[in-house]
Structure 1
Amino acid sequence: MPESKSKFFIPAVGAALVVAGSIAAYTYLKGPSGSSSDALGSAKLVPSTALMATYITTDPQAWAKLQQFGTPEAQKLVAKGLEDFNKQMFSDGNVSYEKDIKPWVGGVMIAVLPPNSVKPAQLKVPSGAPNVPTNLQQESNILIVVGIKDKISALNFANKLKSQKGVKSQESDYQGQKILETTENGKPTYSVVLNNSHLLLAPEKQAVEKAIDTFKGQSSFASKEGASSILSKGVDVKNSLAQIYVPDYAVMVQQLTAGSQQAKQLPPQALAQLKQIKSVVAGVGVDDAGVRVKAIANLDPQLNKFQYQSSPGNIVGQFPTDTFALISGNGISRGWETLVEQSKDYPEMKQALEQARGQVKIANIDLDKDIFGWMNGEFAFGAIPSNQGVLASVGFGGALVFDTSDRKTAEATLTKLDNLAKVQQINIANRNIGGKDVTEWQIPKQGALLAHGWLDQDTVFVALGGPIADAISDRKNQSLDNSEAFKAVTGSLQKPNGGYFYLDMDKTKTVPLVNSLISSDPNTITILNSIRGLGFTANSPDKSTSELEMLLALKPSAK
């Protein structure tokens, strides 16, 4: 959204309520209340052409749940940020969000309408510049619907705003409704109060007019095919802060990218891929573990080519407890097969795959069979701290662990790689670690650069750095899946699932490379000190549904 359209919300809220103040007090205060506190009620005022909508609750109990988290320093930082925001939006210091706005504002819905094409007269093209197609110049089109839960407080606020300086306003009539145009610093905002229960705001007059048409009986976002079902169901999160609704994902992406100077027109093949996703609904909430995000994508089973398979989760037990980051999943070979199949419709992708095949073929390696073909079981990549050998400068190394039903091919591939390393004058040596035979690629005076070996009959690992090979092969402490940190971050995520993304924030901050990136900003450190970790997973209960869940695990505040 252009900057000129992005800062209209707060001034417009007040200016629009001047309209409410001009309505007879009795009519306004005694009028119908409407459903100002729910997403469905707000969606009934949004035109059916809306591409997506976000509903933000103003329920103080839901937001107060956040106060149970964070260090005292982090809470002070957030409080100061809110105070600074209030001062920026109300520069004269006469208006307070807590006292003047919070008492009357119900839920807020932000709808994204199809972009408006800029008229030729509005284009300012420098002389000598190449011609730019007018239909490619578009502006963001936003409509905000604010529920009014306390009309008396809203009217008092409107009266208070009449004393504000530097704001020019004028009224116009559209279908019997008063539209207020407010201009501040040359930036116009259009607003209207409908049914005495909702305040509508937009940077474009046309958006408000279309909302009035919807109010008068034209089709709404609430009745739109694909939207009504996700609006009524939403996403089940505790203490919901926001819900996001996308009734037609492919159309939304197409509309928002068509006309963008930064993005090319979507090719038919890409659009066909997008059509796999029919609709998306997501929710953000707060529970005892932290901030949780859930999303549900409704898929077209005829177009969805990927064969999902849940992951047993056993692979996590192969990593030591000090692993600070991990990505796990199942069936890399199936994902590769799907990618190869889809590349047939994308010449550029197909060319890139052929180039990759050609490059590894020089080393007598078949990319499809020797690399991806045997990766048919569970897998995980983990980052593990270490300050020894080749890892001393970065402070960590990594390990890839694979379960496979084709050990013969995996061993043959690793032998080919060892022989290739020998040609490059790298010393190949064998070492026994915890009773396991491990092959190392050694660098003089620095130890092992890479190591690989078998943890059991079906599980192979490849480690970056000798110390990481030791940590994987000869664990003397408990495994990652039994650690308190991993349980706290991933234990409440949905099961079964396709694998995890896991990040332990406390351990991550101790890694020298990471610490050097954040140590210069004290505010960043303050916020990170309140975060325990990040967990993410995905599930597909059937071919027509994909579910995502993320948890930002937060530390409880000191009692």
Structure 2
Amino acid sequence: MPAKKSNLLFPVLATGVVVASGVTAYVYFRGGFGDGSSPLASAKIVPDEALMASFISTDAQTWSKLQKFGTKEAQDLVMKSLQDLNKQALTESNIDYEKDIKPWIGGVMVAVLPANAVKSTQATPASSEPFDVLAVVKIRDKISALNFANKLKALKDVKTQETDYKGLKITQSSQGTSQPTYSTIINNDYVAIAPTKQAIEKAIDTFKGEPSFASKQGASSLLAKGTDLKNPLAQVYLPDYGSVVEQLIKSSPNSAQIPPEALAQLKQVKALAAGIGVDDAGLRMKAVADVDPQLLKNQYQTSSGKLLEVFPAETIAVVSGAGISKSWNAFSQQAKNIPQLNLGLDLARVQLQNYNLDLDKDIFGWMDGEFAFGAISSQQGLLAPVGFGGALIIDTTNRPQAEATLSKLDNLAKTGLVSVAPRDIGGKSVTEWQVPAQGALLGHGWLDNDTVFVAFGGPISDAIANKPSQLLNNSDTFKSVTGSFPKPNGGYFYLDVEKAFAVAATKGQVGSIPPESKAIIDSVRGIGMSASSPNDSTSQVEMLLALKPSAK
């Protein structure tokens, strides 16, 4: 972005770069703003044509919770980035955030409008861009806002021009040769800012009584409820998700490549709210969608998580869930309506048939129960160079088919430089693929009548077949990362960042990580994600970035 244009964003009430890039850092290190507006109140100024809207909270207590987390190195890194932002965007304009902006700015809503939603006039032609942007900023302190506006007018090279529209003044501001920005004060409580005059006129029309984003079907409840995060920092609202997807695709240069059938499937998601918040564990992200019940019926299945009790405490990462065969069948049916995807699946089926394997029956057909796949640290045998191996555990109601598939794979292995032989591990018969003079490459066996495992690396076979005394689901990190997710759910994604970093360190990879990245990694304890469905038309995904507490 050219320097003149970057500087202009701040002279015109400073919402663009400040809110998007600097607000988080300032609040993190210097305390919160104070009370701001609510999403619902701000949305009453946004036109109902808006495709989506986001709201950034300025509640002091919410933002102050971030100060509990992060290493000193990470805090120094963010502070340096903040200082660089100041130098690039504020210094040349002689604007001081603490003195000039922080005292008056409240909650911020940024909305995306289709360009054809704003009426063009001969004097103000419509934008050539497919979308327009409107920011609505709560004025928390009117005197401070007035002082800031007066300071802007006195800045060098800043030109302003005012016009009247339905009793309100629209200010056009520009600096040097940069593009103008338009703003207006609404009811002495909000300032609306946009790159086009038409968007400001639409905001005024909305304030004067035209339909608003808040009155849009489904938007009011979405704005009021949001994502139910405990302390939301920012949230995004899409009350008509299907329409947004359609318009985004149409504006894309590759839109002709997307078949109508694929678009119809995307539009099965009707409305969406997503947000990020902070709680005692760290940063929590959550998305809640109103979906077609048929979508959940075809693709969602709850998981008890019982297979996680098999993994040892040395597990670095794990993905669990249920109903692979159900999801595969739904995917295959949907693929039939998408020629390119269906062709790819047909080619895969033909390739596997050359090895006497049926993709649908032999590979996915018997995987109808719960599953878990994990990466487990190990420094032994074939795993020594990489530092970890893996294990896939699956519950099935069709053991004969599972055994037939594994037998076919064993026969394929025998045609290469691999010997296949059974080995007794803790009273369980495990079939291993042995690489001469190197050890076991893979092993598979049954933990009980319905649960099969496939382990990558001999030490992993031992760890899974012999139930370890120290289990993953009893570890403090796993419980802190996944314990707050809703239950029942569809499974977990879990990553122990500390263990993963330790494995990288033993393999000499830490030296290749930039110091800035290492500072961030050292602040993270683990990452968790889970999907759930509280009812037959709601799907939600929750992710937690578990952070380490800051040093006292």
TM (normalized to structure 2)?
A: 0.89
1:487 and 2:510 correspond = no
How far is the alpha carbon of 1:103 from its aligned partner?
Answer: 1.6
Q: Within the alignment, does 1:527 sit opposite 2:527 as a pair?
A: no
Q: 2: CA distance between counterparts of 1:443 and 1:137? A: 63
Show the counterpart of 2:62: 62
How far apart, CA to CA, are the structure 2 residues paired with 1:140 and 1:61?
Answer: 34
CA drift at 1:46? 0.5
Shift of 1:480: 0.6
Which is further off, 209-218 or 168-177?
168-177
Q: 1-side partners of 2:495 and 2:3: how far apart? A: 34
Tell me the equivalent position of 2:142.
Answer: 151
Q: CA RMSD in A?
A: 2.6
Residue 155 of structure 2: which of 161, 164, 167 is its match? 164
Please tell me the residue identity of whatever aligns with 2:218.
Answer: G
State the partner residue of 2:536.
543
Aligned-partner Cα distance in 2 for 1:347–1:336 = 17
**TM-superposed deviation, 1:512:** 2.8
Call closer, same or farther: CA 1:358–1:169 in 2, change over 3 Å: same
Alignment of structure 1 residues 298-309 onto 2, 5 Å? 298-302=290-294, 306-309=298-301
3-state SS in 2 of match to 1:158: helix
Assess, with a 3 A threshold, how the Cα gap between structure 1 residues 373 and 392 changes in structure 2: closer, same or farther: same
SS of the residue aligned with 2:251?
coil
Deviations 1:96-150 (A, max 9, x none): 22232112111000111114699xxxxxxxxxxxxxxxx9974442111100011
Q: 1:179, CA displacement in angstroms? A: 1.4
Q: Kindly provide the CA deviation profile for residues 493-545 of structure 1, in whole angstroms up to 9, marking residues without a partner as x.
A: 11110000001110111223897277431011011101111110011122211
Q: How does 1:357-376 map to 2 (within 5 A)?
A: 357-376=349-368
1:84 CA drift (Å): 2.1
Rounded to whole Å, the distance in 1 between the matches of 2:392 and 2:36 is 52
TM-score (norm 1): 0.88
3-state secondary structure, aligned to 1:172: strand
**449-458 or 273-282: bigger deviation:** 449-458
CA distance 1:374–1:518, change in 2 (3 Å): farther
- Contact kept, 8 Å, 1:116 with 1:138, in 2: the verdict is no
The unaligned stretches of length 5 or more in structure 2 are 17-34, 119-125
Counterparts of 2:85 and 2:373 in 1: how far apart (Å)?
41
Q: How does 1:70-149 map to 2 (within 5 A)?
A: 70-92=70-92, 94-115=94-115, 138-149=129-140
Q: Tell me, yes or no, if the aligned pair for 1:533 and 1:554 is still in contact at 8 Å.
A: yes
Question: How has the CA–CA distance of structure 1 residues 465 and 47 changed in structure 2, closer, same or farther, with 3 Å as cutoff?
Answer: same
Match of 1:346 among 313, 328, 338: 338
Gaps of 5+ in 1: 17-34, 119-134
> What amino acid sits opposite 1:430 in the alignment?
P
Once the two structures are aligned, what percentage of the paired residues are identical? 58
Shift of 1:344: 2.2
Q: Which moved more, 1:302-311 or 1:499-508?
A: 302-311
Question: How far apart are the structure 1 equivalents of 2:294 and 2:443?
Answer: 43
1:410 is matched with which residue?
402
2:490 aligned partner: 498
Q: How big is the shift at 1:169?
A: 2.2
In the alignment, the residues of structure 1 paired with residue 15 and residue 269 of structure 2 have an alpha-carbon distance, to the nearest angstrom, of 40
- Secondary structure (helix, strand or coil) at the match of 2:303 reads coil
Are 2:81 and 1:45 equivalent residues in the alignment?
no
CA distance in 2, matches of 1:515, 1:550: 30
Instruction: Provide the C-alpha distance between the structure 1 equivalents of 2:113 and 2:144, rounded to a whole number of angstroms.
Output: 30
Contact between 1:87 and 1:93, CA under 8 Å: does it hold in 2?
A: no
Q: Which moved more, 1:207-216 or 1:328-337?
A: 207-216
Distance (whole Å) between structure 2 residues aligned to residue 244 and residue 354 of structure 1: 39
Q: Name the SS for the 2:37 alignment partner.
A: coil
What SS does structure 2 have at the residue aligned with 1:230? helix
- Which AA in structure 2 matches 1:78? V
Asked if 1:200 corresponds to 2:192, the answer is: yes
